[in-house]
Amino acid sequence: MSDEALSSSCYIVCDTNKRSGRSVPRNCPDSKRYTRQSPGCSDTTAAPTGIHVSSRQFEVEDPSLFDVATHVAGPTGALPLTAEMLRSRPSGDVFGWTQNAGMGWEPSKIGGREFLILSTHGGIRAPDGTPIALGYHTGHWEVGLLMEAAAREMKAAGAVPFAAACTDPCDGRSQGTPAMFDSLAYRNDAAMVFRRLIRSLPTRRGVLGIATCDKGLPAMMMALAACHDSACVLVPGGVTLLPNEGDDAGRVQTIGVRFVHGELSLEEASELGCRACASPGGGCQFLGTAATSQVVGEALGLSLGHSALAPSGHPIWLDMARRSARALMALEERGITTRDILTDAAIHNAMVTHAAFGGSTNLILHVPAIAHQAALHRPDARDWTEVNRRVPRIVDALPNGPRHHPTIQVFLAGGVPEVMLHLRRMGLLDTSVLTVSGVTLGVQLDEWESSERRRRLREELRARDGVDPDDVIMAPDVAAQRGLTSTVCFPTGNLAPEGAVIKSTAIDPSVLAADGVYRFTGPAKVFLTEPSAMAAIKSGAIQPGDVLVLICRGPMGSGMEETYQLTSALRYLPFGKHVAILTDARFSGVSTGACIGHVSPEALAGGPIGKIRDGDVIRIVVDRAKLEGTVDLIGENGDSLGPEAGAAILARRPARTDLASDPLLPDDTRLWAALQDVSGGTWGGCVYDVDAIIRTLVAGRRTLES
């Protein structure tokens, strides 16, 4: 349909977007995308069916609508005010009690300790669980139940709970669309909203944060970390379950490319797509960014022991909310605040646990951001490398393998505390740190090791699924025998002078050399957008031996979009393991294969990756044992000359003339990209360092004025 054909009868009236030159909905200037034509529009002049706006909009058929009161009796009883309160407390504190009574709280109980419950809840559920309005994803669909359970526990204890929410988007729903341009930037915005909501209830005595997924949960952890002098507890939102038959929520995102390549019929794709999210609530069933964030939150000590990865909707999941509410009230009574929980040692423990799980590389962005909010050292690539060289991966979970256990089986096998038992025996943890349970990590692990909960759940895994829990969470020597390697490697080279990231443990073992090193040399095929790269995969333009290079997708180009479409497509195509990916974008936590992301500097920042041309010869070497790697241009026009010659080629070659940020990149994200860049960039966690931003603005203003 042409731009001229888009009329107000089928679409919202359009105007012209000055940056892209396209017509866009006038009431949605930031989306810069056409809305879909209404199903009832057969042409541009027909009115959509199913929607009727009466020309007699003020006629009323129900006479009861005119029964409008102007006064009511108001709540009965009296506020428990004191003379001292009226003399010395701010009027906002007193009026807050009036508001509480107006909302129906028993006036005589209004003086209880006030606690704030924050969440990422989305959607509207009927009491029986059926949807009235959908959320963006299963991860926040049921967290309202956790809020209710926690609130009831607080109320029963005489406390006064408040509840508020800032919902979160779905990275899975955003894949391959301009919605992904808002994904990472959303995290900072949501953390800011959470912090503002916390400060907007100045009478709070503590905060309970409930969140589940890729950006909402890191945002919640950032917000809680900033509450240095308040009691805070994090409640992870849990996981969804696998279908009895069919794909997991990661693999199902490839039904399009598998259909195009003849791997699936239309009927098979339709059935698989229908049942992959087999239960209505919780994060995805694999150890992606959502599940890894839950693991990290518990490893930081912000969550109760064995709370990460619980099955959403189950009694054990609801019990976690009630226990967390009690823990928060106990912390407040004892005067224990987040400053006591989040320390440099706690950050280190979380990094160690992340490595042992084989967690998502996106936590390389989120952990420094949490540390920044806690006013702690922000771990950098050197810190991550040091941790990963010392810590073996001992968890066999989706997507890393080798047997690909879903997250619910990791939970039943013992989850975070079971992994930490192994890490403690290896001397890799600081067990003196305090946790929100009110005891040290060492005491908590002792209690876990001898608990009935541990014994019963591990037995349940054996009985229900026939899975030995020690095959899910392994002793280090067993893990090594089964080929599990350390998690993350940070390659450098003439194409990544400031570094890059690869989840080296997720490279297909069948493409490794006999010495366990991944070596790959191939011609570059360069793309400036993810849709064009995806089209090349679907059309067969990408062949075994190619290096797919995707540029202009870093923070300045696309908000550092996540490119799971590409990695998942290659994973589930027979030839995909023989293709490498190199990009200044990032990857989903469920991505696997020879995928090198976070290449720095990004193309639009003058990085040499922005000089690559089709046919350039690229060599990638990743040593999964030593966690060393290189990514180099070694020649052009099919000639392999070596890294030094490649560096010389790059030195004399200008940047490509077609480098540009995406025309659909929202101004909101452009602002985020600029602010995080002067705050330490991607290696600093993409945070807002206010002091650094102000210094830069002041210096810039002085330069302009001089």
Tens digits of per-residue pLDDT, 577-616? 999 999 999 987 677 789 999 999 999 999 999 999 999 9
Percentage of the chain beyond pLDDT 70 is: 92
Q: Are residues 380 and 452 in the same domain?
A: yes
The dihedral over CA atoms of 386, 392, 398, 400, expressed in degrees to the nearest 10, equals 70
In one letter, which amino acid is 344?
Answer: D
Q: Which residue has the tokens 């509450």?
A: 227
Q: Which helix (H) or strand (E) holds 118?
A: strand 114-119
Cβ burial of 113 (10 Å; 0-12, 13-18, 19+) is: middle
Whether the Cβ atoms of residue 577 and residue 593 lie closer than 8 Å to each other: yes
* pLDDT value, residue 567: 87
- Range in 24-28, 207-211, 493-497, 655-659 the model is least confident about: 24-28
Q: Which residue out of 119, 588, 661, 679 is catalytically annotated?
A: 588
Q: Of 563 and 5, which is predicted with more confidence? A: 563
The stretch 466-472 carries a mean pLDDT of 98
pLDDT score of 1 more than 80? no
DSSP annotation string for 190-229? HHHHHHHHHHT-TTEEEEEEEE-STTHHHHHHHHHHT-TT
Any idea what the Cα angle at residue 186 is, between residues 289 and 163, rounded to 5°? 90
Q: Are residues 268 and 389 in the same domain?
A: no
Predicted confidence band of residue 51 (pLDDT cuts 50, 70, 90): low
Q: Which residue has the tokens 């969550």?
A: 303
Q: Are residues 9 and 126 in the same domain?
A: no
* pLDDT value, residue 600: 95
Q: Which residue has the tokens 């029963």?
A: 156
pLDDT score of 545 more than 70? yes
The CATH number assigned to the domain holding 600 equals 3.50.30.80
Radius of gyration of the chain, Cα coordinates, nearest whole angstrom? 27
Any idea what the Cα angle at residue 189 is, between residues 215 and 670, rounded to 5°? 100
Q: Are residues 369 and 462 in the same domain?
A: yes
Q: What is the tens place of the pLDDT at every residue in 161-183? A: 999 999 999 999 999 999 999 99
- Range in 38-52, 317-331, 538-552, 616-630 the model is least confident about: 38-52
Counted domains in the chain: 5
Predicted confidence band of residue 49 (pLDDT cuts 50, 70, 90): low
Residue 492 lies in a domain: no
Residue 205 lies in a domain: yes
Q: Please say if 588 is a catalytic residue.
A: yes
Residue 686 lies in a domain: yes
Residue 489 lies in a domain: no
In one letter, which amino acid is 323?
Answer: R
Predicted confidence band of residue 52 (pLDDT cuts 50, 70, 90): low
Here the tokens at position 330 are 């106990």
User: How far apart are alpha carbons 77 and 105 in whole angstroms?
Assistant: 11
Q: Are residues 151 and 292 in the same domain?
A: yes
Whether the Cβ atoms of residue 366 and residue 296 lie closer than 8 Å to each other: yes
Q: What are the start-end ranges of the E strands in 462-546? A: 499-501, 517-527
Residue 97 lies in a domain: no
Q: Are residues 386 and 300 in the same domain?
A: yes
pLDDT score of 20 more than 80? no
**Which of residues 278, 302, 326 is at a domain's end?**
278
Average pLDDT of every residue of the chain: 92
The stretch 380-385 carries a mean pLDDT of 94
The stretch 329-342 carries a mean pLDDT of 98
Q: Are residues 697 and 617 in the same domain?
A: no
Residue 196 lies in a domain: yes
pLDDT score of 657 more than 60? yes
Domain range for 17 is 1-57
Q: Are residues 465 and 524 in the same domain?
A: no
User: How far apart are alpha carbons 227 and 211 in whole angstroms?
Assistant: 17
Helices (H), 168-314: 171-174, 183-199, 216-225, 255-260, 266-275, 289-299
Q: Are residues 527 and 572 in the same domain?
A: yes
* Cβ count near 410 (within 10 Å): 28
User: How far apart are alpha carbons 385 and 609 in whole angstroms?
Assistant: 23
Question: CA distances (Å), 663 to each of 20, 32, 34, 655, in order?
Answer: 5, 9, 14, 19
The stretch 661-666 carries a mean pLDDT of 96
Query: Taking the mean position of all CA atoms in its chain, how far away is CA 19?
Result: 30
Q: What is the tens place of the pLDDT at every residue in 138-160? A: 999 999 999 999 999 999 999 99
Residue among 569, 615, 634, 574 at smallest CA distance from 595: 569
* pLDDT value, residue 56: 83
Percentage of the chain beyond pLDDT 90 is: 86
* pLDDT value, residue 30: 42
Question: CA distances (Å), 413 to each of 61, 396, 405, in order?
Answer: 61, 11, 10
Q: Of 42 and 447, which is predicted with more confidence? A: 447
**Which of residues 57, 73, 93 is at a domain's end?**
57
Residue 79 lies in a domain: no
In one letter, which amino acid is 90?
Answer: P
pLDDT score of 41 more than 50? no
* pLDDT value, residue 588: 79
Residues with Cβ within 8 Å of residue 207, at least 6 apart in sequence:
115, 116, 117, 118, 198, 224, 227, 230, 231, 232, 233, 328
Residue 100 lies in a domain: no
Predicted confidence band of residue 4 (pLDDT cuts 50, 70, 90): very low
Q: Are residues 258 and 354 in the same domain?
A: no
Q: Are residues 387 and 457 in the same domain?
A: yes
* pLDDT value, residue 27: 39
User: How far apart are alpha carbons 215 and 122 in whole angstroms?
Assistant: 14
* pLDDT value, residue 487: 83
Which one of 39-43, 133-137, 172-176 scores highest in mean pLDDT? Answer: 133-137
Q: Which residue has the tokens 């919640």?
A: 220
* pLDDT value, residue 580: 96
* pLDDT value, residue 45: 43
Whether the Cβ atoms of residue 590 and residue 250 lie closer than 8 Å to each other: yes
Q: Which helix (H) or strand (E) holds 407?
A: helix 407-412
* Cβ count near 427 (within 10 Å): 8
Query: What's the maximum distance between 2 C-alpha atoms anywhere in the chain?
Result: 88
* pLDDT value, residue 568: 86
The stretch 608-627 carries a mean pLDDT of 96
Q: Are residues 197 and 156 in the same domain?
A: yes
Query: Taking the mean position of all CA atoms in its chain, how far away is CA 165?
Result: 17
Whether the Cβ atoms of residue 598 and residue 364 lie closer than 8 Å to each other: yes
